[in-house]
Amino acid sequence: MTEEFTGAGLGRRAFLTGAATLAASAALWPREMRAAAADRKFAASLGWTTYDSGRHLQDGFNAAVKELGGSLTTTDAGFDARVQSDQIDSLVASKPEALFVTPADAVAIAPAVQRAIAAGIPVFCADSSVPGAMVTTTAMSSNFGMGQYSAEFICKALNGKGKIARVMLPQNESWDQRTLGMEWTLRRYPEIEIVTEWAFALAGNVTPRQAVDNILTSNPDVNAIWCAWDGASVEGTLAARAAGRADLILTGIDGGSQAFNYIAADTPLKLSMAQSFYEMAYASVFYAHEALAGRKTPRLVITPTYAVTHDMLKDGIPDDYDVPGRAGELGWTRAL
């Protein structure tokens, strides 16, 4: 269930019983508002559509527009901030009634987002905030909390003592919060030692697999590797297998079928902090309709995160866990 607070500080819950409730809520609008919603013109500037995260975000935007009304024009920047900035400017020129953004590099695209707002187009962000830009609503996970939780998982698995490495994702402010959350947890575990670390760069020449290969070669006694995203933890699992390190513990952040399959197969990947990407996108469209109808919207929506381990996947690999209401049907409860 999504927790939200309006700008006036009034707590309320829009996602009561899943996607059906969200879609059905449109039927509660006055007839003239429903008619206007059907003709809404939206645009989405997606920082990426690859990986499970990008696919779920795209699916959420498409489903919400289909169910709640409107048309949607979408662009994909492929993790290139310059391309995304140009795409935002082009979408603004088409004069949509609202713009949805999933930032790959939030700082770099902030000027383009600000230009959209200055042009009178309300902006709704999913997965990451854009610093310095007064967007209408941002729907995202608690990145600091996910870093805390996954670090705590490792510390408890090691009984509070051991050597760990970390693979970080400093690409934008939101993703870097995961590392800060991890560091906050480690303050309570003085006998956990970070022996090495590596920061991923989109334009770099070193892949996460190569980085973990190097970590295991130079630190053969490392007990665990904390990864800021599942792409690194999956590639790290392959490196652990190649090094014969079945005892290694890896954790990741994102969720999705690829990471879930590794967790279910009893590999060194033991935990994924599974984000609700579909719900982030759906919430963005929902609140765009609310804002355009003249109703209050929350400045920030923290969508659910599920701490997925082996036992949660014993009945299968759910690809739709982040559709509102589906996690409850699976018997999952949110960790954050």
The domain segmentation of the chain, as residue ranges, is 3-141+276-303, 143-274+310-319+323-330
Q: Which residues of the chain have pLDDT under 70?
A: 1-36, 202-203
**pLDDT at residue 206 in the model:** 86
Domain 143-274+310-319+323-330 has CATH 3.30.230.70: no
**pLDDT at residue 35 in the model:** 58
Fold (CATH) for 3-141+276-303: Rossmann fold (3.40.50)
Comparing 3-141+276-303 with 143-274+310-319+323-330, is the CATH topology the same?
A: yes
Rounded-to-integer distance, Cα 182 and Cα 180, Å: 5
Pairs from 193-196 (Cβ < 8 Å, separation ≥ 24): 193/162, 193/163, 193/164, 194/164, 194/165, 194/166, 195/163, 195/164, 195/165, 195/219, 195/222, 196/165, 196/222
**pLDDT at residue 38 in the model:** 76
